[in-house]
Amino acid sequence: MNLTAAFADGCLPGVSPDVYSDADFRAIADMIYAESGNVLPQGKAMLVYSRIAPLVRKSGKQSFADYIELIRNDPDLRKSAVDALTTNHTFFFREGHHFRHFADHVRPHLVEQLEAGGRARLWSAGCSSGEETWSLVLTLLGEDRPQGLRLLKRDVVLLASDLAAHVLRKAEAAAYAASEIRDLPPKLQANWLKTAGDSLVVNDEARAIVRFRELNLLGPWPMRQQFDVIFCRNVMIYFDLETKERLVERFVEQLKPGGYLYIGHSERVSGPAVDRIQCVGPTIYRKRAA
């Protein structure tokens, strides 16, 4: 059913097609795909309305059509629209089997590597508001605080990137309500978080190893070094097959031989990169040795 029919059937009560039409939805969907690679099927029409309507009002325009014309020629406003439609809900230790695998199978190798004078590079790609990033950092530093402090003196960096600047600011602030960290193991909380008013904040020691960058995954990547670990979860679910396959191929290229790629529970790997990686757990892949 297109939006015109939806309005006729009363599916969008109180919204006139003169304000938001099927053509408006298609124009926004095309723009979002061009800017971010995200595919917005017809079933997301109401989501688009709910996310974009506040921006239409803020712009002073009376209709989505007028707003669309405005943002076509204004990169900053267009980016605000993209950000509004590409921000995902997340939480600490989401898909916990990934962090258990990292703790049990990857962390010991990274600790050994660092303590031998090597370096470790990790990437939280599509980090959103930071819950994934900090879950990974705290798992790496661990419940043994003296060991974690030793690791912080080594050459370890975690890159946290996202397309949306406003969620990156929240991620970098690293401040969360107690209800948002309810799944955080008490020992990790005691080791690496501090209280600040009504919030719990990741402490400066743990924050020192994270670098935040605004980055469109479909654009150029400035990173020169390869990574030991890449987390990109529940990002590719919104891409078409060709875009997914191209992105996975780039991730694999960016991994060291033996490095790990973690993707979302409803995502799958396909395309040319498949022969270069081995599935070692549910939605966990390891790059084969060269």
Q: Are residues 108 and 252 in the same domain?
A: yes
Q: Please check whether residue 28 is in contact with residue 68, taking contact to mean a CB–CB distance below 8 angstroms.
A: yes
Catalytic choice (24, 107, 121, 162): 162
User: Which amino acid would we find at residue 221?
Assistant: W
Q: Are residues 124 and 49 in the same domain?
A: no
Question: Average pLDDT, stretch 104-123?
Answer: 98
pLDDT digits (tens, 9 = 90+) for 125-145: 999 999 999 999 999 999 999
pLDDT digits (tens, 9 = 90+) for 5-49: 554 444 455 567 888 888 999 999 999 999 888 888 888 888 888
Q: Are residues 80 and 109 in the same domain?
A: no
Question: Does residue 105 belong to any structural domain of this protein?
Answer: yes
Distance CA 140, CA 107 (A): 6
Clarify whether 204 is annotated catalytic.
Answer: no
CB atoms under 10 Å from CB of 175, counted, come to 16
Question: Does residue 91 belong to any structural domain of this protein?
Answer: no
pLDDT digits (tens, 9 = 90+) for 188-211: 999 999 999 989 999 999 999 999
Q: Where are the beta strands (DSSP E) in the chain?
A: 119-125, 155-162, 175-177, 193-196, 199-202, 210-214, 227-232, 255-263, 277-281, 284-287
Domain boundary among 51, 86, 121: 86
Domain count for the chain: 2
How far, in Å, are 27, 52, 130, 133, 242 from residue 3 at the CA level? Answer: 13, 16, 35, 38, 28
Helix ranges (DSSP H) in 90-160? 96-101, 107-115, 131-141, 145-152
Give me the CATH number covering residue 19. 1.10.155.10
Q: Are residues 162 and 74 in the same domain?
A: no
Tell me what pLDDT residue 3 has.
55
User: Which amino acid would we find at residue 182?
Assistant: R
pLDDT digits (tens, 9 = 90+) for 147-191: 999 999 999 999 999 988 888 999 999 999 988 888 889 999 999
Clarify whether 240 is annotated catalytic.
Answer: no
Q: Are residues 60 and 104 in the same domain?
A: no
Q: Are residues 23 and 156 in the same domain?
A: no
Cα-only R_g, the chain: 21
Give me the CATH number covering residue 117. 3.40.50.150
Q: What domain range is 131 assigned to?
A: 96-287
Q: Are residues 160 and 257 in the same domain?
A: yes
Q: Are residues 65 and 195 in the same domain?
A: no
Question: Does residue 19 belong to any structural domain of this protein?
Answer: yes
Catalytic choice (26, 51, 145, 213): 51
Q: Are residues 138 and 257 in the same domain?
A: yes
